[in-house]
Structure formats: structure tokens, C-alpha cells
Structure 1
Amino acid sequence: MLVDTHAHLLPRDYPADAPECFPRMEAVDGDTARTLLFGSVRFRAKDVFFDAERRIEQAAASGVDTEVLTPMPPLLRYDLPAGDGLSLARHVNEFTATLCATDPSRLIGFGMVPMQDVDAATAELAAIRDAGLRGVEIASNVLGVSIGDERFLPFFAEAERLGLAIFVHAMPVQMDRLPASAMGTYVVGIEGALAASSLILGGTADKCPDLRVSFSHAAGGFPLMVPRAQYFWSGTWNEEPPVPERAVAHTDGPSPLDYARRFYYDTMVFDRRALRYVIDLLGDDRLLIGSDFPAMPREVPAARTLLSLELAGEALENISHRNAQRWLGMELT
């Protein structure tokens, strides 16, 4: 069984009376695709983004049994007025629930919330659960504020209480030290690392020990950063037993790597050597298949790089579907 936990959707349309700040989906002459218009975003969306039958057909063709569908990241517009952000989220969530109801065994939906208003975002979680959605997608930062900031703790605590999974998608922000051309490449890696680090350093990982969080693109540079944090915590290399008197930042309780191993990470690291490292460091029980489909094409066959590692049976089963079941909190058939 193969579960793709990083796949995206877009609604086919938006209400005619929607606020002016809402997205639009315009027809494409002579094509089943539609064009997303949202602020500066101009994106040609193939029909597989919003057509359930096409999704199921293409998933089957690539060997994917189940997809976890999250909104395309450009929809996570936290700069909108809070009321409009909530209205947009509700429209997208309703579309997602309807799309996934076509075949709940193959399509599993995640909602979105207006993180610019933490109270509204937190209050909306129960409605997301009641709609049959299994989790929530959030961006790696909220208007430049790290998701590990204490202001977001009530949101994560409520998601934990309701048993909803969280998918953190790296969201580029303009950085003065890198050119605009780096937004979709290097900055994605930086953003993932900052998001994962902030959940540890801000205390969310400690205060919400049962929160099930996954990071896109294996949290970017985080897997290479956390061994350094481990060294300063333990005073030793290679995760050897800690020597507190030699450590710079030793604290009682879990180590940085212990916290890192509470999270999940998708396999979209684009190189078998990088994937091997992430598995070795964080464990085969922490990795989830991801593709970014249909914003990016899937490997042929799906998960080709993972399969090339020739993992032992249990490790492969963990990454291909068992970890997804644990992250989602549900059995998949």
C-alpha cells in the first residue's frame, strides 16, 4: 500500500458574491484546465486539481492507493482580513470535504484556517473535524512570525485535543540576503528548518506531546541542524550518552533529537542520499511519502527513490503507509 501524504487541490470555483480579495478560477478556452488568479499569483491548474475522478484515475496509474489532499499553499493568505480569511477557509474546506466524499478510502482531506486570527483558527478546528477532514494545513510562518511563538499554542493544543493532524507547508518569505529567485528553492529549506526548530524552542513540542505534526520537504535543513543542537545539549558527538558538565545547553527532559523524533517528515528531498540520511537520523517510523502532486509530477513509478534504497520489509511498510496511518490517526484500507 502506498499513501501520498503531500498532494494538493484547488476548488474549481468560488462564490459569485465572494469578497473582491477572494481568488478566482477562470476557464481556459479549449481546455479542461482553469487559471487561478489570486493577488500576484497566476497559475494554470489542470483538472486533476479539482476533479475527483481524474485524481483517482491518475493516482491508480502511478501506483498510489490513497492521497492526503491539502490546499495549494497560495491559498494560505494570512494577509487577508480575518473575516475574509475565515470565509475563504470555509469555502475551501467545504470543497475539500465534498471532493473527498467521492471515495473516502482513496481521498483524505485536510482543512485550512485563518492563522492571522488565532482565536478564529482555533474555534474552526471542531468544524473541520465534524466535516470529516483529518487535519489542517498551515504555513511555516504567519506573516513572518514563527509557528512556535506562544501566541499559537492554543491552536496546537486544541488540534491535539481533537486528534487532528497538522501538515506544515514551507511558505517562502522574501529575505534580503537572498535574491527573489531563491524563494522556491533555498528559502523553502530555510523555512522548514525554522518552523520545526520553533516548535521545539518555543515549547509547543513539550506542551503538546501527542500533537501529530508533519513537515513538507523533510523540514528543509532541519535534519542537518538538529545534530548540532544535540551536541550542545549533550556535550557528545554521534548521540553518545550525555555528559552534562561538558554541555553548553543541557536541560532535563527530552533532547533535541528526542523532540525531532516526535515529528513526521515527507520524503520530498529529491536525492536518495538525502533520504537515506533522514531515515538514518530520524528513523523509518518518522517518514511519509510525499510528491507535491499535481503541482509537481510524481516520480515514475511513485516513490521510485525510496524503492531504490531497497529497505527491509518493515521499514518500507512504515514509510509507504504505516506512518501515514499513525500520523492521520486512522486505519487505511
Structure 2
Amino acid sequence: MIIDAHAHVLPDGYPEDAPSCFPSMEAVTGSTDRTLAFGEMRFRAKDVFFAAERRLEAQDASGVDREVVSPMPPLLKYDLLPADGLALAQHVNHFTAELCGHDPDRLTGLGMVPLQDPDAATGELAAIKEAGLAGVEIASNIMGDSIGHEKFLGFFQEAERIGLSVFVHAMPSPMNRLPKSAMGTYVVGVEGMFAAGSMVLGGTAAACPDLRISFSHAAGGFAMMLPRANYFWGGAWNEGPVDLDRAVMHDDGPSPLEIARRFYYDSMVFDHRTLRYLIDLLGADRLLVGSDFPAMLREDPVAKTLRDMDLPADQWEDISSRNALRWLGEARPAT
């Protein structure tokens, strides 16, 4: 069984009386495609983004048994007024729930919330669960504030309390840390690293030990940073015994690596050498299959790089499906 834990949806339209700040999906002459227009963005979306039957056909064609679908990341537009952001989130969530209702065994949906207003976002989580969605997608930063900022703690505590999964998608920061040419490449690595690191350093991960959270693209450069963070916490190379004479950032809680091993990470990193490092450092029980479909083409067949690594059967079973079920709260955590 293969579960693609990183795939995206777009609604096929928006109400005629929607606020002017909403996106639009413009018809494409002679095609079933639509053009997403959202501010300066123009993106041609194939009908597989919004047509349930087409999604199932695409699953069959690539060997996917089930998808976890989340809103296309540009919809996470946190510079909208909070009321407009909430209205947009509710429309997208309703659409996603209806799409997944077409075949709940093969389509699992994540909602979105207006995190520019943490209280409103927190209040919307119950409605997301009531709609039958399994969790919520958020961006890696909210108008430049990393997700580990204390003002978002209540949001994560509520998601943990009611059992919703969280998917963090790397997104550019308005602080322009990198040029626009890095949008789809380096930005993913930098912003994913900042997001995951902020959850550790800001204390949110420690405060929410049962939060089921996943990071797109393996949280970018986070895994390369962790051994250094662990050294500063414990004063030892290679996860050796704690040496307080060398440690400079020690506390009585779990180490940075122990916390990082509570998170999940999708495996869309484009290279088997990186995957081997992630498995070695974080564990095969932490990785999920991800594709970014249909914004990007899947490998043919899906997860080909993972398949070609000759992983032990138990590791392949974990990564291909069991970890996704654990992240979604449908199976027990690995022991």
C-alpha cells in the first residue's frame, strides 16, 4: 500500500459574491483546465486539481492507493484581513471535504485556517474536524513569524487536544531572505528548516508532545543542522553521553534529536543519498511518501527512488503507508 501524504487540491471556483481579495479560477478556452488568478499569481491548473474522478484515475495510473490532499500553498495567504482569510479558508475546507467525500477510502483531506489571527484559526479547528477533514495545512511562517512563536502555541495545543494532524508546507517569507529565483528550490530548504527549528527552540514541541506534525520536503536543511544543535545541548559528538562541561545550551528536557524524532517528514528530497541520511538520523518510522502532485509530476512509478533503495521490508512498509497512518492518527505510534 502506498499513501501519498503530500498532494494538493484547488477549488474549481469561488462564489460570485466573494470578496474581491479572493482568488478566481478562470476558464481556459478549449480545455478543462482553469487558470488560478490570485493577486499577481497566474497558474494553469489541470482538472485533476479539482475533479475527484480525475484524481482517482491519476492514482491508479501511478500506483497510489490513497492521497492526503491539502490546499495548494498559495491559498495560504496570510496578508488577507482576518475575516476574509476565514471566509476563504471555510470555502476551501468545504470544497476539500466534498472532494474527499467522493471516495473517503482513497482521499483524505486537510483544511486551512487564517493564522494571521491565531484565535480565529484556533476556533476553526473544531469545524475542520466536524467536516471530516483529518488535519490542517499551515505555511512555514506567518507574515515572517516562524510557527514556533509563542502566539501560535494555543493553536497547536488545540490541534493536539482534538487530534488533528498538522502539515507544515515551506513557503517564502516576506522578509525576502532569498531572491525570487530561489522560490521553488532554496526557499524550501531554508524555510522548512526555520519552521522545524522554531518548534524545537520555541518550546512548542515540548509543550505539545502528542502533536502529530509533518513537514514538507523533509523540513529542508533541518536534518543537517540537528547534530550541531544536539552537540550544543549535550556536549557530545555522535549522540554520545552528555558532557555538561562542553554543553552550552543544556536543559532537563529531551534533546533536539529526540524532539525531531517525534516529527514526520515527507520524502520528496529528490535523492536516495539524502533519504539514507534521513533514515539513519531520524528513523524510517519518521518518513512519508510525498509528491506535490499535481503541482509536480510524480516519479514513475510513484516513490521510485525509495523503491530502488532496496530497503528492508519493514522500513518500506513504514515509509510507504504505516507512518502516514500514524501521522493521521489511524494507527499506533511505532515503538
Q: Is the TM value for this pair above 0.5?
A: yes
Percent identity reads: 69
Q: Distance in 1 between matches of 2:326 and 2:298?
A: 23
Q: Give the CA deviation at 1:178.
A: 3.2
Q: Deviations over 1:208-227 (max 9, x none)?
A: 00000000000000000011
State whether structure 2 residue 146 is matched by structure 1 residue 108: no
Distance 1:263 1:43 in 2: 31
Distance 1:272 1:181 in 2: 25
The corresponding residue for 1:148 is 148
Counterpart CA distance in 1 for 2:138 and 2:213 is 10
2:84 counterpart of 1:84: yes
**Within the alignment, does 1:285 sit opposite 2:285 as a pair?**
yes
> Conserved in 2, the CA contact under 8 Å of 1:113 and 1:136?
yes
Q: Secondary structure at the match of 2:86?
A: helix
Q: Is the 8 A contact 1:173 1:183 kept in 2?
A: no
Equivalent position SS for 1:285: helix
How many Å separate the matches in 1 of 2:95 and 2:184? 27
Q: Are positions 1:264 and 2:289 aligned together?
A: no
In the other structure, the counterpart of 1:137 is: 137
Change (3 A) 1:297 1:204: same
Quote the Cα distance in structure 2 between the aligned partners of 1:141 and 1:47.
29
| Alpha-carbon distance in structure 1 between the residues aligned to 2:250 and 2:329 | 33
CA distance in 1 between partners of 2:154 and 2:252 (Å): 25
| C-alpha deviation, 1:177, in angstroms | 5.5
1:33 aligns with 2:46: no
Cα contact 2:143–2:174 (8 A) shared by 1 = no
CA contact (8 A) 1:214 1:266 kept: yes
Instruction: Give SS of 1:167's match.
Output: strand
Equivalent residue number for residue 211 of structure 1: 211
Shift of 1:51: 0.2
Structure-to-structure mapping, 1:220-231, within 5 angstroms: 220-231=220-231
Partner residue in 2 for 1:47: 47
1:20 to 2:39 alignment: no
Mark the runs of 5 or more structure 1 residues left unpaired by the alignment.
none
State the partner residue of 2:306: 306
Mapping 1:169-248, distance limit 5 Å: 169-173=169-173, 178-248=178-248
Matched residue, 1:296: 296
Which residue of 2 is the match for residue 71 of structure 1?
A: 71
- DSSP-derived class of the 1:7 partner: strand
Contact 2:144–2:174 (8 Å) recurs in 1: no
**8 Å contact 1:174–1:180 — kept in the other structure?**
no
CA distance in structure 1 between the partners assigned to 2:33 and 2:203 by the alignment: 44
Q: What SS class does the counterpart of residue 166 from structure 1 fall into?
A: strand
CA distance in structure 2 between the partners assigned to 1:267 and 1:303 by the alignment: 9
Distance 1:73-1:177 versus aligned 2 partners, 3 A rule: closer
Quick one: which amino acid aligns to residue 140 of structure 1? S
Taking structure 1 as reference, are residues 113 and 215 closer, same or farther at Cα in structure 2, changes over 3 Å only? same
Alpha-carbon separation, structure 2, partners of 1:179 and 1:113 = 27
Question: Which amino acid in the other structure matches residue 124 of structure 1?
Answer: E
Runs of 4+ in 1 over 3 A off after TM superposition: 174-178
**CA–CA separation in structure 2 for the residues paired with 1:74 and 1:15:** 19
The aligned amino acid for 2:55 is R
Shift of 1:252: 1.1
Contact 2:138 2:169 in 1 (8 A): yes
Q: Deviations over 1:46-104 (max 9, x none)?
A: 00000000000111110000000000000000000000000000000000000000000
Q: Distance in 2 between matches of 1:123 and 1:311?
A: 42
Partners of 1:172 and 1:184 within 8 A in 2: no
CA–CA distance in structure 2, aligned partners of residues 178 and 82 of structure 1: 27
Question: TM-score, normalised on structure 1?
Answer: 0.98
The DSSP-based 3-state class of the residue aligned with 1:311 is coil
Separation in 2, partners of 1:100, 1:93: 11
Report SS of the residue matched to 2:67: strand
Q: What stretches of structure 2 of length at least 5 have no aligned partner?
A: none
Post-superposition CA distance 1:127-152 (Å, at most 9, x none): 00000000000000000001000000
Tell me the amino acid that sits aligned with residue 155 of structure 2.
Answer: F
Structure 1: distance between partners of 2:179 and 2:264: 30
8 Å contact from structure 1 (residues 140, 191) kept in 2: yes
Confirm whether residue 329 of structure 1 aligns to residue 329 of structure 2.
Answer: yes
Could you tell me how far 1:179 is from its partner in structure 2? 2.4
Alignment of 1:150-165 (within 5 A): 150-165=150-165
Of 90-99 and 246-255, more deviation after overlay is shown by 246-255
User: Partner of 1:238: helix, strand, or coil?
Assistant: helix
Q: Secondary structure at the match of 1:246?
A: coil
Separation in 1 of the partners of 2:178 and 2:115?
26
Aligned partner letter, 2:202:
G
Does the 8 Å CA contact 2:144/2:175 hold for their aligned counterparts?
no
- Shift in Å, 1:176: 5.0
RMSD: 1.1
2:285 equivalent to 1:253? no
